[in-house]
Structures are given as C-alpha cells and as structure tokens.
Amino acid sequence: MRYYQIEGKHYPSVTTILSATKPKTTEDALERWKNRIGVDVAKDKFLSACARGTAMHNLCEAHLLNRELGEITDHVKPYWESIKPTLSQITNVQMTEQRVHHPKLKYAGCLDAYATFRGVENTLIDFKSSDKKKDSKWITDYFLQVVAYSAAVKELFDISTNQAAIIIGVPNHKAQVFVLTRELMLVYWQLWKNRVKQFYSKSYDDSLKVLVE
C-alpha cells in the first residue's frame, strides 16, 4: 500500500485506493486468472508489466520534453511503436510526471502529462500499455484515476481540466485513445468519491504502508 508523505501527512496513492476497493467480481476474476496460469507465472507477468510501464512512462516523458530517449529494449519496443504516433497530437505541455494530492479527500498520485491534446487545452493525459485492446467497460479504474488527478490539479493549481485522455499502447495496433469529456468526468468523480469513502471506512495495518518521499 503506497502512501505519499506530503507536508508531514501520509496520503494513500490513487492506485492504492483503487486496488483496496476493487469490486468482488473483479477480485474473483483475478483469482481465477491466477489459479488458471499459476501464482508464479502471474507474479512474473505482473512484475514484467510494472517494468514495462515504468519504461513506457519514461519514454513518453522524454519524447514530450524533447529529451534523449535512451535505449528502447525489445520488450518495450512494440508498445512504444504503437503509442508514439499519438504523441504528435500532444502540444503545449504544462506538466509531466507531476506529483499531486487532494488535501480535502486525502489522496495523492503522479499524473503522466497535462497538455493540449487534439486541440483541447488543459487535457489530463494518462499513458498505459496492454497486450490486448481494451473495451471501455474494462477500464473504469483508468477513468477514476484521471478524474482523481484532475480534481487534485484543481485543488492545488486552480486549473480546470477540459477533458481527460487515456492513451494505451498495444503491440501491432494503433494506440487506443479513450477521451472523457468534462460531463463524463463529473459522473466518474462521484464514483471516485465513493471509492475514497469506502477506503477510509476500512482499517489497515500500518505495517503495510510503503512511504514515498
């Protein structure tokens, strides 16, 4: 359970809250998947996906800031080739890998990018990678993540987000792009507040906390 230490307070990360409040149907599906492929294989896949995600975020940030990309490994290259063309639609970059927190609802996280996307200013952008194409029904947590960050941006910088975009790199496919309008973001904001409330209604062992300075 990741907690950010900010101004002497500990804020759970957005992903920690989402993980701790997953619907039972999702938890059951994950258990069935682990049992089907084996716990060790599932762990290897999880660690591999984490490493790939970190590499992809570093590449996207470097590209947006016109920095040297560095080595692109064979493990990451198919996802990068999928997502790279979409990055040309991002302009006027205001923030990348920006840590944010919401002092009222008490959560924190790190947004991927805040920029103009497809001509729309003040777009909050999140980069993902996946072995298969996603259906919007499967990525509710992605939508909750971006609205959580957008609310934190409003609290900290008094900037209103006009839309949010989730960009997913998929090998051998054009990147998938899911856009949330401001109206849709308001719908997911209510769902996110419910998840935060659910999280704080539970008690957790302090020994599970991993602090991120």
Nearest-angstrom CA–CA distance, 108 and 103? 9
Q: Is 52 exposed, middle or buried (0-12, 13-18, 19+ CB in 10 A)?
A: buried
- How many other β-carbons are positioned within 10 Å of the β-carbon of residue 61? 16
Residue 8, classed as helix, strand or coil, is: coil
Neighbouring C-alpha atoms within 13 Å toward the C-beta of 25: 1
Q: Which of 43, 74, 128, 205 is catalytic?
A: 128
Residue tagged 């016109």 (tokens)? 66
Q: Of 94, 124, 92, 121, nearest to 109 (Cα)?
A: 124
Element holding 212 (H helix, E strand): strand 210-212
Q: Which of 126, 133, 197, 205 is catalytic?
A: 126
Q: Of 133, 112, 14, nearest to 64 (Cα)?
A: 112
Contact 165/123 with Cβ under 8 angstroms? yes
Q: Which of 9, 40, 112, 131 is catalytic?
A: 112
Note if 126 is an active site residue.
yes
CA distances from 35 to 39, 42, 47, 66, 99 (A): 7, 9, 17, 44, 36
Note if 141 is an active site residue.
no
Note if 128 is an active site residue.
yes
Annotated catalytic residues are 112, 126, 128
